Amino acid sequence: MKKSLTNRVAVIWSILVSILLIAPILIVIPLSFAPNRSFQFPPSGFSLQWYVNIFTNRAWYSSLTESLTIAALVAIVSTIVGTLAAIALRWVPRGSALVRGVLLSPMVMPGIITAVAMYSLFLQWRLNNTLTGFVIGHSVLAIPFVIIAVEANLHSYDRNHNRAAATLGSAPISTFFRITLPQILPGVLSGAGFAFITSFDEVVLAIFIQGPNVKTLPVQMWNSVRQETDPTMSAVASLMVIIATVIILLVSVSRTKKLSRREA
């Protein structure tokens, strides 16, 4: 890197930006060890009771398991239908502009409008406060991400492989599972990951369609922020920060290693 004045300014600026990006989310970690029911910073002591509370308090624990169940179902549903749709859009592109527009539209609509619109019909269809309602609603939001992820992989897929397989007598379905799927698997898996996170992290729709039977973790977090001072929120937030950080760091380390291998 050139040591020009511009670059020096950019370095200092970027360090400040890094602090702005990272420091605020780290603040929840000390908070999660609070000895008493408060969001006081810094906390006046140390305790692990709020971490224990995630697993012993019924409201927190059941919302966690419900969120995981819903997110897993959403990942399965939206990955299957999204992958099929991506194949259709990619392999028969002629006249598919409208279909693509419709399928990707949930991504550009402001979340609050989507939530209100779905809530209205879910009321009539009795889908509020049900697992089915959550899975359907979150799948709608997740399908665009799956399509985008899979299409990116299909982009570099050579359809001559299909023709070769067919010439050699392979039926289309087995061609899909034995030839196509293994090659587009990275896209399918990252689509599934996106779908899982989209559902697991979704708040706006969830706070509308939730009810006594089904409450996801974000709903429980929302309630605890809005209504009461419950440091279990800090513990959950800290776990989320730590999990995200660990995953990103693992990916970064593996990419750095790949880099060193290339240099060697």
Q: How far is the CB of 213 from other proteins (least distance, A)?
A: 19
How far is it, in rounded angstroms, from Cα 250 to Cα 164? 38
Tell me the two tokens of residue 68: 């995981």
How far is it, in rounded angstroms, from Cα 195 to Cα 189? 10
Q: Decide: helix, strand or coil at residue 34.
A: coil
Q: Which of residues 67-126 bind other proteins (CB under 8 A)?
A: 77, 80-82, 84-85, 87-89, 91-92, 96, 99, 102-103, 105-106, 108-121
Amino acid at position 118, single letter? M
How far is it, in rounded angstroms, from Cα 47 to Cα 53? 11
- Exactly one of 64, 75, 128, 137 binds other proteins (CB under 8 A); which one? 137
Q: Which of residues 209-238 bind other proteins (CB under 8 A)?
A: 218, 221-222, 225-226, 233-234, 236-237
What mask of x and - would describe binding to other proteins in positions 28 to 57, judged by CB under 8 A? x--x-------xxx----------------
Contact 64, 224 (CB under 8 A): no
Q: 164 or 166: whose CB is closer to other proteins?
A: 166
Q: Which of 201, 44, 211, 72 is nearest to 135 (CA)?
A: 72
- Choose one: 44-52, 53-61, 183-191, 196-204; the region binding other proteins (CB under 8 A): 196-204
Q: How far is the CB of 73 from other proteins (least distance, A)?
A: 13
